[in-house]
């Protein structure tokens, strides 16, 4: 396998007296979908925020493309090619798809020495990229608010890919979606992975993880319980690791099936 694109080595993050991450190590390779699983409060969010430059680790090392790195803020991380797609906070419903798509990266054209927003280019590229992802827009001026939750996630992913993401962090992209929409987003993840982009897929749904994941890392109470490769682990084992075993078995017994 090729070298990992990003290595997180023994990352610790403390907030005051709270230890959010107690030494987490994860390698992510280009073209893989690395699932990061964990229950609420396991430290998933803190971990990806450290990866994307929002938080600085208290100790530990991040190595990106073989170089140790130190991001000052998320814009640095974005410029380097680490893009995060947040569950809710990526798209602006009142704005058109093409305005959203180029938000923060507006294409410019010069007319008489003054820079203007190049709407023709933005509209053309947006329609193209959306078609590639299998979304048919009425037009580039359609408001994002009229898209379904799954389509919005797809637009956000397509945007990150278009602007050269090498590592794509997806923060619970499927947690608020219906079955059909989830399937669409998972298919999008698959498309992206095949382009050689490393996908870090955060979820607490084992079935979604098993559907597209190549490797699985489970976080529990700020620690990793190891990384497993696809085929070496069953969904039940993952579920147990996430929940911390014992109590879950009892619960499942009383509920009569897999939660």
Partner 1 sequence: MADTTDERIKEISPLRRALIRPELGGMVGTVAVFTLFALFAFDSGMFNSQGVMNWSIVSAQFMIIAVGACLLMIAGEFDLSVGSMIGFAGMMIAVFGVVLAWPMWIAILITFVICCALGALNGWIVVRTGLPSFIVTLAFLFILRGFTIYIPQTIERKTIIGGIRDAAEGDWLAPIFGGKIGQPIFQWLGDMGVIGVFERGTRAGEPVVDGIPMLIVWAIALIIFGHILLTRTRFGNWIFAAGGDAEAARNSGVPVNKVKVLMFMFTAFCATVFAVCQVMEFGSAGADRGLLKEFEAIIAVVIGGALLTGGYGSVIGAALGALIFGVVQQGLFFAGVESSLFRVFLGVILLFAVILNTYIRRIITGER
Q: Which residues bind partner 1 (CB under 8 A)?
A: 74-75, 78, 84, 86, 89-95, 99, 102-106, 108, 115-117, 119, 131, 136, 138, 143, 145-147
Query: For residue 202, what are its two tokens?
Result: 């955060």
DSSP of 39-92 = -TTSSHHHHHHHHTTSS--SEEEEEETTEE---SSHHHHHHHTEEEE-SSTT--
| Smallest distance from partner 1 to CB 166, Å | 17
Backbone angles phi, psi at 221, to 5 degrees: 50, 45
Nearest to 1, CA basis, from 42, 26, 44, 30: 30
| Smallest distance from partner 1 to CB 180, Å | 11
Toward partner 1, which CB reaches closer, 93 or 196? 93
| Smallest distance from partner 1 to CB 78, Å | 6
Toward partner 1, which CB reaches closer, 92 or 251? 92
Toward partner 1, which CB reaches closer, 35 or 147? 147
Toward partner 1, which CB reaches closer, 145 or 226? 145
Nearest to 120, CA basis, from 160, 112, 146, 128: 128
Toward partner 1, which CB reaches closer, 53 or 222? 53
Query: For residue 144, what are its two tokens?
Result: 């994002």
| Smallest distance from partner 1 to CB 189, Å | 19
| Smallest distance from partner 1 to CB 165, Å | 13
| Smallest distance from partner 1 to CB 154, Å | 13
Q: How far is CA 27 from CA 62, 113, 125, 160, in A?
A: 10, 47, 33, 21
Toward partner 1, which CB reaches closer, 88 or 207? 88
Query: For residue 151, what are its two tokens?
Result: 């389509």
| Smallest distance from partner 1 to CB 113, Å | 13
Toward partner 1, which CB reaches closer, 49 or 204? 49
Backbone angles phi, psi at 218, to 5 degrees: -105, 130
Facing residues of 64 across strands? 6, 67
Pairing between β-strand 67-68 and β-strand 114-117 as defined by DSSP bridges: unpaired
């Amino acid at each position: 396998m090729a070298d990992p694109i990003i290595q997180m080595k023994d990352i610790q993050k403390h907030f005051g007296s709270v230890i959010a991450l107690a030494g987490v190590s994860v390698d992510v390779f280009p073209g893989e979908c690395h699932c990061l699983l964990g229950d609420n409060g396991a430290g998933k969010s803190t971990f990806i925020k450290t990866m994307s430059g929002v938080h600085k680790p208290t100790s530990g090392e991040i190595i990106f493309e073989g170089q140790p790195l130190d991001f000052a803020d998320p814009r640095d991380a974005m410029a380097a090619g680490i893009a995060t797609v947040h569950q809710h906070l990526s798209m602006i419903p009142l704005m058109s798809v093409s305005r959203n798509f180029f938000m923060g990266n507006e294409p410019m054209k010069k007319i008489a020495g003054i820079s203007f927003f190049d709407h023709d280019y933005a509209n053309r590229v947006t329609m193209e990229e959306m078609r590639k992802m299998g979304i048919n827009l009425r037009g580039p001026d359609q408001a994002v608010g009229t898209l379904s939750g799954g389509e919005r996630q797809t637009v956000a992913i397509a945007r990150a890919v278009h602007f050269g993401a090498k590592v794509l962090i997806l923060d619970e992209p499927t947690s608020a979606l219906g079955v059909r929409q989830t399937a669409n987003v998972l298919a999008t993840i698959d498309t992206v992975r095949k382009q050689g982009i490393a996908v870090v897929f955060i979820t607490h749904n084992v079935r979604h993880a098993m559907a597209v994941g190549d490797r699985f890392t489970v976080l529990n109470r700020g620690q990793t319980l190891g990384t497993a490769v696809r085929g070496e682990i069953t969904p039940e084992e993952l579920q147990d690791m996430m929940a911390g075993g014992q109590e879950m078995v009892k619960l499942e017994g009383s509920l009569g099936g897999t939660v």
